[in-house]
Structure 1
């Protein structure tokens, strides 16, 4: 029952009945990962779907010495679905950013759940459509925005998905160095340093000594992101 309750808080499964949640839950296994531990390794077999229940993780592509961060996962997010669906190898690494717990559903059990509970497939399609829309929007921004605009867009997105309201702004609950920001927006560290310095000077954001960013002027960043 405990796993079913946890599962019910995950958007992919939140529309299921208690009986359906129990059915899916009996196929799940818990796994825990320490900070910086690899959860999924690129080019490995795609034999499981992962559901993040606590902590945070990044999905990244490492090419030589350059890292591109594709997404940052929070509780309620799932990953690994593409390889489970098409049988291909993993396309990126997923690494824990802090102590993280995931629920693991094997490919065989995942397909069994899709057949037994078709509502999962419907919600999965909705979630994948949302991800595709966001990816399309980001590709468009890469071609139409300068580094300042891309950073503004990313800060707004992160403040929405990982932020909490604090006095005078919204604190992004992630430790983000300038290298991390460069990996997120596809720019050089030097360009990011210049843009972040400008935003700090204008009072749009502040960055504390632990590399946590607080957004103070949402409207100004929104205007810069257009």
Structure 2
């Protein structure tokens, strides 16, 4: 069974920062989350994530540190799934685990190309 809980964020609250460990994956229940990287003193927006979309899925699967930062673009509620719970679920279905790992590897490669 997956272990989830909700978190409410006010506009401007940081959900996670570039380089943070991948402890959780998030689904936006309501509101919007901005995905960004800092380039010197400037913030470069990579995406705005809306209701029903996931954030942090790459890092939680491949175990690499966060490749960007995420913060509330407006007042937002996210559903949080902890990494341990998700990994246990994936280990119960090796084929699903292999599929997810492959997809994440491809996403990570595309992410690297886009942010260069």
What do residues 86-138 of structure 1 show as CA deviations (whole Å, max 9, x unaligned)? 22221211010111111111111110122346686588579759x84xx58x9
- TM-score norm. by structure 1 comes to 0.42
Which residue is 2:83 aligned to? 107
Ranges in structure 2 where 5+ consecutive residues have no aligned partner: none
Question: 2:30, 2:103 → 1: CA distance?
Answer: 20
Ranges in structure 1 where 5+ consecutive residues have no aligned partner: 1-22, 140-226
Q: 1:42 aligns with which of 10, 13, 18?
A: 18
What do residues 190-217 of structure 1 show as CA deviations (whole Å, max 9, x unaligned)? xxxxxxxxxxxxxxxxxxxxxxxxxxxx
Q: RMSD of the TM alignment (CA)?
A: 2.7
Which residue is 1:80 aligned to? 56
1:78–1:121 distance in 2 versus 1, CA, 3 Å: farther
More strand by share: 2
Query: What's the secondary structure of 1:36's corresponding residue?
Result: coil
- TM-score norm. by structure 2 comes to 0.78
Aligned residues: 111
The one of the two structures with greater contact order (alpha-carbon pairs below 8 A, sep at least 6) is: 2
Question: 1:78, 1:61 → 2: CA distance?
Answer: 18
Query: What's the secondary structure of 1:59's corresponding residue?
Result: strand
1:1-226 superposed matches below 5 A: 23-24=1-2, 27-116=3-92, 121=97, 124=100, 132=107
